[in-house]
């Protein structure tokens, strides 16, 4: 019998990001900051927040200054009745970098963040060293069916159920079970892919201000 191969993972560096807050144009912005060196700006997707980068930030921070913001209306940033267009988000990234005295960055955008990254590169090309897109939004006019579902009025009623005591822990437990099934011969197809990330995003939406900000961003 052959010797089973084991996957060797690099240890996570001891450079955990700090959650930092700055008030810019009257709104509190949250962002994770770590490392030193050339700057990397990590922009998350719709309904998500900077914690989506949590596992990769320490590795990137070995050689770079990593800035991972919570977009306005997301995560720990303020959720006002404001402009949630892609151009407004790009302006927000410019303002944040200006406050941090950073003149040029490599911009990495995922999903909606990819659309924001492209808009940022278009509006402020002198501030962009490199542009990296991961499953980017803003390339076509298509909207994922799941996003359409979450925007429907009936989903708002479902979210109210998640505010009941014990509801979110039950959803997270279900997500953990489904995530363990993913990758086994019994898994029921690709619907289980990224289940843990979906549960994490849903856990933020029961907050009425977060859901309203999500809808404005989606529309």
Residue 116 maps to which CATH number?
3.40.50.1820
Q: Among 33, 14, 26, 47, which residue's Cα sits nearest to residue 105?
A: 33
What is the share, in percent, of the chain residues with pLDDT greater than 70?
Answer: 59
In a shared domain, residues 30 and 123: yes
Q: Is residue 182 part of a domain?
A: yes
Q: What pLDDT, on the 0 to 100 scale, is given for residue 116?
A: 95
Taking a C-beta distance cutoff of 8 angstroms, is the pair 30, 77 a contact? yes
Same domain assignment for residues 23 and 76 = yes
Say yes or no: 24 and 129 in one domain. yes
**pLDDT confidence of residue 190:** 42
What is the predicted pLDDT for the residue at 113? 93
Within-domain flag for 114: yes
Split into its structural domains, the chain has a count of 2
pLDDT at 152 over 80: no
Quick one: residue 166, left, alpha or beta (phi over 0 = left, psi -120 to 50 = alpha)?
Answer: left
Q: Is 210 helix (H, G, I), strand (E, B) or coil?
A: helix
pLDDT reading at 111 higher than 90: no
pLDDT band at 136 (very low <50, low <70, confident <90, very high): confident
- Tens of pLDDT, residues 177-208: 545 554 544 344 444 444 555 556 666 666 66
Residue whose tokens read 């927040």: 49
Is pLDDT of 144 > 80?
Answer: no
> Global pTM?
0.71
Check whether residue 127 and residue 153 sit in a common domain. Answer: no
- Is residue 88 pLDDT above 80, yes or no? yes
Better-scored residue on pLDDT, 219 or 92: 92
Say what the pLDDT of residue 168 is.
Answer: 53
- Examine the domain organization and report whether 23 and 123 are in the same domain: yes
List the domain range (segments joined by +) for residue 62: 18-134
Q: What is the pLDDT of residues 45-74, one digit of tens each?
A: 888 899 999 999 999 999 999 999 999 999
Give the burial string for 173-197 (b: 16+ CB within 10 Å, else e): eebeebbeebeeeeeeeeebeebee
Q: Which residue has the higher pLDDT, 166 or 35?
A: 35
What confidence score (pLDDT) does residue 158 get?
A: 61
120 shares its domain with 194: no
**Cα(53)–Cα(60) distance, rounded to whole angstroms?**
10
pLDDT at 17: 86
| Residues in a beta bridge with 42 | 108
Confidence of residue 42 (pLDDT cuts 50, 70, 90): very high
Secondary structure (3-state) at 204: helix
Residues 6+ apart with CB under 8 A from 103: 97, 127
How confident is the model at residue 30, as a pLDDT? 97
Task: Answer yes or no: do 22 and 129 share one domain.
Answer: yes
Tokens matching residue 64: 């770079």
């Amino acid at each position: 019998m052959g010797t089973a191969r084991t996957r060797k993972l690099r240890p996570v560096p001891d450079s955990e990001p700090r959650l930092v807050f700055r008030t810019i144009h009257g709104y509190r912005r949250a962002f994770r900051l770590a490392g030193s060196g050339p700057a990397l700006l990590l922009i998350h997707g719709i309904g998500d927040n900077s914690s989506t980068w949590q596992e990769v930030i320490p590795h990137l921070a070995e050689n770079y200054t990593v800035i991972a913001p919570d977009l306005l209306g997301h995560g720990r940033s303020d959720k006002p009745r404001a402009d949630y267009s892609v151009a407004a988000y790009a302006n927000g990234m410019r303002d944040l970098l200006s406050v941090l005295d950073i003149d040029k960055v490599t911009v990495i955008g995922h999903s909606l963040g990819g659309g924001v990254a492209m808009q940022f590169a278009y509006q402020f090309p002198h501030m962009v060293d490199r542009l990296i897109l991961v499953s980017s939004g803003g390339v076509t006019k298509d909207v994922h069916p799941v996003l359409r579902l979450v925007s429907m009025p009936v989903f708002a009623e479902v979210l109210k159920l998640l505010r009941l005591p014990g509801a979110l822990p039950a959803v997270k437990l279900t997500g953990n079970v489904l995530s363990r099934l993913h990758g086994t011969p019994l898994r029921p197809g690709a619907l289980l892919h990224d289940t843990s990330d979906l549960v994490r995003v849903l856990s933020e939406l029961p907050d009425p201000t977060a859901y309203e900000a999500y809808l404005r961003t989606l529309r």
